[in-house]
Amino acid sequence: MSVSDGPLNRKYVTIVTGTFRSGTSLMCALLQAGGIEVVYDEEEHTPDEFNPLGYFEAKNRYKPDCFAKWIPACRGKAVKIFIYFLPFLPYIDKPYRFLEPYRVIAMKRDHAAVMASLHRGRMNPEVYSDPTVYPKKLEQVKARSDMRIIEISFDDLIANPRRNVELVSEFLGGLDVDKMVKLIDPTLKHF
């Protein structure tokens, strides 16, 4: 599939979501390699041993009452918003009619693997220990008429990169699949 002519042809905001340690940063890196600009705060992006491609986080913007102020400016771009905050995104209706429905890439990872990764990353896994959060929040999002959703399994993305990247490319109207596939390194420690 070919790459689109640029962000202005994409009349939607691409949202990458999931729980912590579910592969959201990897997906953001893939989208960037594929030709979509990713919105993030520089100070929250520094790569480390747990995320060698960086974090792609916009934490300074994670205030639900502020989403309406900056999300429309992300038209044609991608932004990572953890699934806990996704239901707070402004509905695409009257003031935002210039936008098409959000395109949401929901990263799914086995809950036990997420918990082990949080523990290894010296994060407090107890804060995120409820395995029902992801499915509950995803159901809330699926109920919205202004969101189109594709769910990508982290483990399957690593095991079958081309197939999954092609699905994402088709969902978003065309990306540079070859550049995206080259970015996936199955030999990395996937904490």
State the pTM of this model: 0.82
CATH code, domain with 59: 3.40.50
Q: CA-CA distance, 105 to 157, in Å (whole number)?
A: 13
Q: What does the pLDDT average to over 156-177?
A: 95
Bigger pLDDT: 21 or 43?
A: 21
Q: CA-CA distance, 146 to 42, in Å (whole number)?
A: 29
Q: How many CB atoms lie within 10 A of CB 170?
A: 13
Q: How many CB atoms lie within 10 A of CB 113?
A: 15
> Is 116 part of a structural domain of the chain?
no
> Is 118 part of a structural domain of the chain?
no
Sign (positive or negative) of CA dihedral 45, 165, 116, 188: negative
> Is 154 part of a structural domain of the chain?
yes
pLDDT at residue 1 tops 50? no
Structural domain boundaries enclosing 129: 7-108+124-183
Domain count, the chain: 1
> Is 58 part of a structural domain of the chain?
yes
Q: CA-CA distance, 125 to 102, in Å (whole number)?
A: 30
Asked whether 153 and 138 are in contact (CB, 8 A), the reply is no
> Is 1 part of a structural domain of the chain?
no
pLDDT at residue 16 tops 80? yes
pLDDT, tens only, 46-68:
656 666 665 666 665 666 677 77
> Is 168 part of a structural domain of the chain?
yes
How much is the pLDDT for 25? 86
Q: CA-CA distance, 181 to 110, in Å (whole number)?
A: 22
> Is 159 part of a structural domain of the chain?
yes
Q: CA-CA distance, 50 to 122, in Å (whole number)?
A: 10
